[in-house]
Amino acid sequence: MKPFERLFDFSGKRALITGAASGIGEAMARAFAAQGAHVILADRDREALRKVASDLAPSSQSHPFDQADLASIEALAAAAGEVDILVNNAGIVVRAPLLDLDWADLRRMVDVNLVGPVALTRLVGAAMVRRRSGTIINIGSQMAFNGARHRSVYSSTKVAISQFTKTAALEWGPHGIRVNCIAPGRTITALNAALLADPAEYETGLQRIPLQRYGEPADMANVALFLASEAAAYITGHTVVVDGGWILE
Ligand SMILES: NC(=O)c1ccc[n+]([C@@H]2O[C@H](COP(=O)([O-])OP(=O)(O)OC[C@H]3O[C@@H](n4cnc5c(N)ncnc54)[C@H](O)[C@@H]3O)[C@@H](O)[C@H]2O)c1
């Protein structure tokens, strides 16, 4: 175990973060880089990806990819090389009443939020298992804990990613791999821009949160640092809800 003052020092570690061009993933990329990691940034938004990567140079590399496409995921895993920390963060939401949800949107949410992270975890995790070293953090959602109006499929993918976390932790624990999940509450990012721009939605949401503020991407990044660090050496298979208390009621 590292001495206390070096628990959050990630020097010499390689962290692969998906969805790193924006919001929570970008904050995580910046946080891991600030703590000494070499960050491998992956996203489908090439322009935004380039900008974050250049801010973090020289301790970064970037790979455009589409988490809905298996060939693209395989190419990312091959290009990333050895990975110590994998953060499966990229995700999408399409809000619609169940009967109005478009079939293509439904399939895409399942592909991006569930099938893609599972595929990437298998590819990157295989090498971790061989080396008997590594840790994985999935990004779920508070929406996995309650019924979620107009997010039937989105919330289902997030329940599934928490469950996948448990099983991967169970299977790979004996190989020295920890797998955990962060379930963010409503966080101020592009994903929520339309929702947060609606004054009625903004107020109603805020009233549900005991800590009386929406989450910041840095709130999630700090927990990712903790879960990836040796401070969390005995935590695996867990979903940490980071929501200011939203799900308590
Ligand atoms: N913002 C919230 O309130 C909130 C709450 C709970 C969970 N989450 C989860 O947090 C994660 C990050 O979301 P965010 O709020 O930072 O959103 P965001 O939209 O700011 O960032 C998501 C990133 O993922 C990338 N991405 C989307 N689809 C992709 C694909 N097919 N291939 C590769 N990259 C893709 C986007 O280009 C973007 O850069 C998501 O999994 C989301 O479900 C967010």
**pLDDT tens digits, 164-173:** 999 999 999 9
User: What is the pLDDT at residue 88?
Assistant: 99
Inter-residue contact 201 to 195 (CB < 8 Å): yes
Residue 220 CA, closest ligand 1 atom number: 10
- What is d(CA 162, CA 107) in angstroms, rounded to the nearest whole number? 19
Nearest CA owner, ligand 1 atom 23: 19
Mean per-residue pLDDT, 142-162: 96
**Whole-number Å distance between alpha carbons of 7 and 24:** 22
73 lines ligand 1 (CB under 6 A): no
The 10s digit of each residue's pLDDT in 85-132 is 999 999 999 999 999 999 999 999 999 999 999 999 999 999 999 999
pTM over 0.95? The answer is: yes
Q: What integer pLDDT is reported at residue 30 of this predicted model?
A: 98
Give residue 139 CA to ligand 1 midpoint distance, Å: 9
Question: Is the distance from the beta carbon of residue 23 to the nearest atom of ligand 1 less than 6 Å?
Answer: yes
Q: What CATH topology corresponds to 9-240?
A: Rossmann fold (3.40.50)
CA distance 42 to 63: 5
> Which listed residue (154, 202, 214, 234) is catalytic?
154
For residue 93, give Cα distances in angstroms to 35, 107, 154, 206.
30, 12, 6, 20
The pLDDT value given to residue 2: 82
Name the nearest CA neighbour of 42 among 70, 79, 8: 79
**Closest Cα to atom 17, ligand 1: which residue?**
191
Question: Which residues does residue 184 pair with via DSSP β-bridges, in sequence order?
Answer: 242
Report the residue among 67, 189, 195, 216 best suited for mutation to probe ligand 1: largest number of ligand atoms under 8 A from its CB: 189
d(CA 211, CA 10): 30
Report the atom number in ligand 1 closest to the C-alpha of 139: 41
Please say if the pLDDT value at position 1 is more than 90: no
- The number of residues making up the chain comes to 249
Q: How far is the CA of 230 from the centre of ligand 1 (A)?
A: 26
**How many other β-carbons are positioned within 10 Å of the β-carbon of residue 59?**
14
Q: Does the annotation mark 202 as catalytic?
A: no
Q: For 11-69, where are the alpha helices, taking DSSP H only?
A: 23-34, 46-56
Does the C-beta of 209 come closer than 6 Å to ligand 1? Answer: no
Compute, in angstroms, the gap from residue 12 CA to the centroid of ligand 1. 27
Report residue 201 CA to chain centroid gap: 25
Q: How far apart are CA 103 and CA 166, in angstroms?
A: 29
Ligand 1 atom nearest the C-alpha of 112 is: 31
Task: Express as a percent the part of the chain with pLDDT over 70.
Answer: 100
Distance CA 56, CA 24 (A): 16
- Pocket test of ligand 1: the residue of 41, 43, 138, 156 to mutate, having most ligand atoms within 8 Å of its CB, is 43
Q: Are 65 and 43 in contact (CB under 8 A)?
A: yes
Residue 178 has phi, psi (to 5 degrees) of -100, 140
